[in-house]
Amino acid sequence: MTTMKNKYFGTDGIRGLVGEDPVTADFMLRLGRAAGKVLAEGDRRSIVIGKDTRISGYMFESALEAGLSAAGANIALLGPMPTPAVAYLTRTLFACAGIVISASHNPFHDNGIKFFSAEGEKLPDDIERAIEAELDQSFSTVPSAEMGKAVRIEDAAGRYIEFCKSTIPFGTQLRGLKVVIDCANGATYRVGPSVLRELGAKLIPIGNDPDGLNINDGCGSMHPEFVGQAVLEHGADVGIALDGDGDRVIMVNAKGGTVNGDELLYIIAVARQKKDQLQGGVVGTVMSNLGLELALKERNIPFLRTPVGDRHVHQALVSNNWTLGGEASGHLLCLDRTSTGDGIVSALQVLEVMVSQGKSLEELASAVQKLPQTMINVRIENHGNGHGGTDISGSETINAAVESVQDKLGAEGRVILRPSGTEPLIRVTLEGADEDQVNQLAAELADVVRAELAG
């Protein structure tokens, strides 16, 4: 494990507790000016801004808008909009960049900023470093005649809804399919249900009443048991659980069983393979369950692992000229459909397979026999900038404990220690054949890590 190379940017933008540096209004003002200077200098195309439903989003939207205008950048305001919608609209509005105000699956009291390039992709490292360098410069304002102007894109939601529907074969109907969708009281609370209704699904929406404080609160992809309960109560065929900014999806079968990103990747990959539309293989991460790797091997589908993070998955897909990859958390990339992780688009790919093959979600996912896997989060105190990055790789105590645990798990077991890129946590993950042993050893190793951090 290594420390973060950037001062502010983590693995998924800038994120932290609202009111604590750098997630403050004055920092966002300076960030807006710095981003405008780097991304839009000499370019009259707009920078689009979208946000999720957190109450702090209003404050940060205004601060970013002011900073961008001060740098001479034009602004297109989208309002509450899923992260992947911002990526899509950045491309189709021919903007020079996109900004999302969101902390994804985190609680409402966190917030953050993500950037997209003009192509709707995450910014490369050198551009992030250029923005950080500009942040160190004194705040300045261009002459009044050169200041940026802001407009609101009134039809943003409709544009994105039509795009989502276009990612499955024309004429696909979800009629007869009863679907529960949990919008996590987040950015998809309007567009998610609209997409499914327009495709004909009999819909039960939940988690679609945001109040600024309830985003991800006991709902969404972090709490699939919530949508699972609703599936059972309503006798639904399938449940869809999105996260607060709409770039992740976890699904639930008709029996209330959770179907995570590994299984969803398998379903999409096999369907693509049957249609001769799977370009190359599948990219997962070190957290992808061994069961996914073995199931893909049975289908002769190549599989690669990367470090955790959709940025790494995306890089591997592009370098191999593949199109399908993702994480067990439900952050899936279908690059033959869109440029970034999209919970609604990913769910549609699975629903289309269910309809076209006449199979249940449980049946489609049954080939993936997951090994027991458990993860324990060890909190890092005094974490400063709000994301992980603590380097514990040099700890002899922890390294010895990891080696001991690996020996006990044997050849089929895996031990993964990594700092979260979005929260002040060390994630301790174990996988093995014996669930009781995995849980016990994970707890023991987490205690070692906790004690070492405290010391």
CB 221 within 8 A of CB 184: yes
Residue 293 half-sphere exposure toward CB, CA atoms < 13 A? 12
CB contact burial 251-279 (16+ within 10 A = b; e otherwise): bbbbebbbbbbbbbbbbbbbbbbeeeebe
Classified as helix, coil or strand, 153 is: coil
Residue 41 and residue 58: Cα distance in Å, rounded?
25
List Cβ neighbours of 143 (8 Å cut-off, separation of 6 or more): none
Alpha carbon 240 to chain centroid, angstroms: 15
Which region holds residue 43: left if phi is over 0, alpha if psi is between -120 and 50, else beta?
beta
* Residue 399, both tokens: 């390294």
Which residue in the list 56, 69, 102, 104 is annotated as catalytic? 104
Note if 420 is an active site residue: no
Q: Which helix (H) or strand (E) holds 224?
A: helix 224-234
Whether 64 and 31 have beta carbons less than 8 Å apart is answered as yes
Question: 74 near 46, Cβ under 8 Å?
Answer: yes
- Distance of alpha carbon 313 from its chain centroid, rounded? 12
How far CA 182 is from CA of 162, 342, 343, in Å, comes to 20, 15, 11
Residues with catalytic annotation?
104
